[in-house]
């Protein structure tokens, strides 16, 4: 067979050959590999993993609060003038006093020796001589204790001794944040796995639905040929032939719609896997029933330990408790040891030590009730998280109950439809025989085949809903990896 197009003739074998060549390059991906690929490529998971690394380094940073801090502080300073102490007025007063004493002694000696006091001119000479001698003998009373240009380099160490439990609370808070982000990462992975499984199941379902549609289309075409033969022989009316043609057209339209849905399902699957749209991916699995025997109570019990949302809230609760402890520590004194060592002693003044050690105590007496308000805020935060935990536990319990019942309903519907399919098969055989013998109508055959198609597709949908509800149930439990074991 061949068809004409604007580009020439295309043969049916050529189309099939091209299709096979395209599939040779396609990657057949099972469910477990699809999940592994998604967990490796998903950007949301990578984002949460980066947040987790941030929290881990913040936890290490909290350990550093217990260790002493050592700072090197260096500077170079230029002053407008050197820093000096000028005591020359005192020096001048001393010289004047001593000069006066020298003049008085010289005058007394002249009276004893020469029997006369010194004249004004002689006293001036003695005063000038004594002043000059004293001025030369006494050094300057100006002391420079800081040069105009000087540099400093100091090592300053501080070791916290007691902060009211704030450091321990900060460390526990950081550890709780790490656990919180680990739970967030697991929650994100569960959501990604659920998305992958849902898209994977959609592809598997649509592939089997298309197979069913093709079987129905082949059956409709066979019936149309039989109707045309019987019409030529004058055994049936023309309306029977027309009904057969309409049924073929309807079957072709349904097949075309589901093929388009399959393409969209593949695109959704590739997106959830983090693959480009043109990546050659083929799913070869089929929907087959695998029993799930866990009881509802066992799932509820396991969810208390494995559900990441509950672990996330538990970590947030611990963080809120540590925030309360840290706020309470503000009411207690803070004690720390310190030390200082100067590395350029030549630039130190006589008033500055080379090194110093000590202990400092700080206690806030009044801050406008801010500490009290903060501790009340943290107390209400603890209560908020408590209520959130209880509410979340009830919601998860409801979530598990809903998913479990939907799964069991789909399972029961799947098993019950087996009898419907058997009945529909027998009815189709009967109607075809009646039609071939002229006892039945084309409409009866078409209706019988459509009923069989409906039951087959409904049973496939029931199996799809069964696995979809099972996936949701395992997400609610917090153990999505178990789905691969069930699927295999």
The predicted pLDDT at position 136 comes to 83
The predicted pLDDT at position 25 comes to 56
Q: What is the largest CA-CA distance in the chain?
A: 184
Q: What is the pLDDT of residues 31-71, one digit of tens each?
A: 999 999 999 988 999 999 999 999 999 999 999 889 999 99
Of 185 and 87, the one with more pLDDT:
185
Q: How far is CA 234 from CA 7, 231, 240, in A?
A: 43, 5, 12
Question: Scanning the structure block, which residue is given the tokens 């949460």?
Answer: 48
Q: What is the pLDDT of residues 227-272, one digit of tens each?
A: 888 888 887 788 888 988 998 999 999 999 999 999 999 999 999 9
The predicted pLDDT at position 1 comes to 38
CB of 348 within 8 A of CB of 342? yes
Tell me the C-alpha distance between 25 and 211, whole Å: 22
Q: How far is CA 138 from CA 125, 133, 135, 406, in A?
A: 20, 9, 6, 109
When mean pLDDT is compared across 13-22, 198-207, 338-347, the lowest value belongs to: 13-22
The total of other beta-carbon atoms located within 10 Å of residue 244's CB is: 26
Question: Mean pLDDT throughout 116-136?
Answer: 84
Domain 27-70+165-332+365-487 adopts which CATH fold? Answer: Outer membrane efflux proteins (OEP) (1.20.1600)
Whether the pLDDT of residue 22 is over 60: the answer is no
Question: Would you place residue 26 in the very low, low, confident or very high pLDDT band (cuts 50, 70, 90)?
Answer: low
Whether the pLDDT of residue 299 is over 80: the answer is yes
Return the structure tokens found at 242. 């027309």
Question: Mean pLDDT throughout 279-300?
Answer: 90
Q: What sign for the dihedral angle of Cα 140, 144, 149, 152? A: positive
The predicted pLDDT at position 10 comes to 39
The predicted pLDDT at position 187 comes to 94
Q: What is the pLDDT of residues 355-382, one digit of tens each?
A: 999 999 888 888 888 888 988 999 999 9
The predicted pLDDT at position 15 comes to 37
Question: Mean pLDDT throughout 335-339?
Answer: 91
CB of 196 within 8 A of CB of 90? no
State pTM to two decimals.
0.77
Question: Would you place residue 455 in the very low, low, confident or very high pLDDT band (cuts 50, 70, 90)?
Answer: very high
Question: Would you place residue 226 in the very low, low, confident or very high pLDDT band (cuts 50, 70, 90)?
Answer: confident
Return the structure tokens found at 30. 């099972």
Q: What SS3 state is found at 83? A: strand
When mean pLDDT is compared across 247-251, 330-334, 408-412, the lowest value belongs to: 330-334
Question: Read out DSSP for 13-73?
Answer: HHHHHHHHHHHHTSEE--HHHHHHHHHHH-HHHHHHHHHHHHHHHHHHHHHHTTSPEEEEE
Whether the pLDDT of residue 436 is over 50: the answer is yes
| DSSP tag of 332 | S
The 10 Å CB-count burial string (b at 16+, else e) for 189-202 is: bbbbbbbbbbbbbb
Question: Mean pLDDT throughout 480-487?
Answer: 87
The total of other beta-carbon atoms located within 10 Å of residue 75's CB is: 9
Quote the percentage of the chain above a pLDDT of 90: 52
Whether the pLDDT of residue 331 is over 90: the answer is no
Tell me the C-alpha distance between 235 and 242, whole Å: 15
């Amino acid at each position: 067979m061949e068809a004409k197009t604007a580009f020439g003739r295309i043969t049916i074998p050529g189309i099939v050959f091209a299709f096979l060549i395209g599939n040779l390059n396609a990657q057949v991906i099972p469910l477990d590999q699809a999940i592994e690929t998604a967990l490796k490529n998903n950007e949301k998971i990578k984002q949460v993993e980066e947040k987790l690394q941030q929290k881990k380094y913040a936890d290490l940073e909290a350990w550093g609060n217990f260790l002493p801090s050592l700072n090197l502080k260096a500077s170079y300073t230029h002053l407008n003038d050197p820093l000096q102490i000028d005591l020359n007025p005192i020096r001048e007063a001393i010289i004047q006093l001593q000069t006066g004493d020298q003049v008085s002694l010289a005058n007394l000696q002249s009276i004893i020796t020469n029997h006369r006091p010194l004249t004004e001119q002689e006293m001036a000479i003695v005063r000038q001589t004594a002043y000059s001698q004293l001025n030369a003998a006494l050094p300057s009373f100006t002391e420079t204790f800081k040069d105009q240009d000087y540099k400093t380099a100091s090592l300053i160490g501080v070791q916290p001794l007691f902060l009211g439990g704030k450091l321990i609370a900060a460390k526990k808070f950081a550890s709780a944040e790490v656990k919180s982000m680990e739970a967030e990462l697991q929650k994100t992975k569960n959501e990604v796995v659920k998305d992958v499984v849902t898209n994977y199941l959609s592809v598997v379902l649509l592939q089997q639905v298309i197979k069913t549609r093709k079987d129905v289309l082949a059956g409709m075409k066979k019936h149309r040929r039989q109707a045309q033969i019987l019409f030529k022989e004058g055994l049936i009316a023309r309306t029977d032939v027309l009904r057969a043609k309409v049924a073929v057209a309807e079957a072709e339209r349904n097949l075309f719609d589901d093929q388009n849905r399959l393409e969209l399902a593949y695109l959704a699957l590739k997106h959830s896997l983090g693959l480009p749209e043109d990546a050659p991916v083929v799913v070869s699995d089929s929907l087959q029933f695998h029993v799930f025997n866990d009881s509802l109570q066992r799932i509820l019990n396991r969810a208390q330990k494995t559900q990441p949302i509950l672990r996330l809230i538990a970590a947030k609760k611990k963080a809120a408790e540590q925030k309360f402890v840290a706020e309470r520590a503000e009411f207690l004194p803070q004690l720390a040891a310190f030390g200082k060592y100067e590395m350029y002693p030549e630039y130190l003044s006589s008033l500055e030590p080379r090194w110093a050690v000590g202990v400092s105590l700080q206690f806030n007496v009044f801050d406008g009730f801010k500490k009290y308000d903060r501790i009340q805020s943290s107390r209400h935060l603890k209560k908020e998280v408590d209520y959130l935990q209880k509410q979340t536990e009830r919601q998860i319990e409801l979530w598990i109950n809903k998913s479990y019942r939907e799964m069991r309903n789909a399972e029961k519907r799947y098993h019950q439809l087996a009898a419907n399919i058997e009945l529909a098969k027998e009815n189709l055989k009967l109607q075809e025989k009646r039609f071939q013998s002229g006892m039945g109508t084309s409409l009866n055959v078409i209706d019988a085949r459509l009923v069989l198609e409906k039951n087959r597709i409904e049973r496939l949908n029931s199996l799809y809903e069964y696995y979809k509800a099972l996936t949701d149930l395992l997400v609610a439990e917090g153990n999505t990896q178990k789905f691969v074991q069930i699927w295999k």
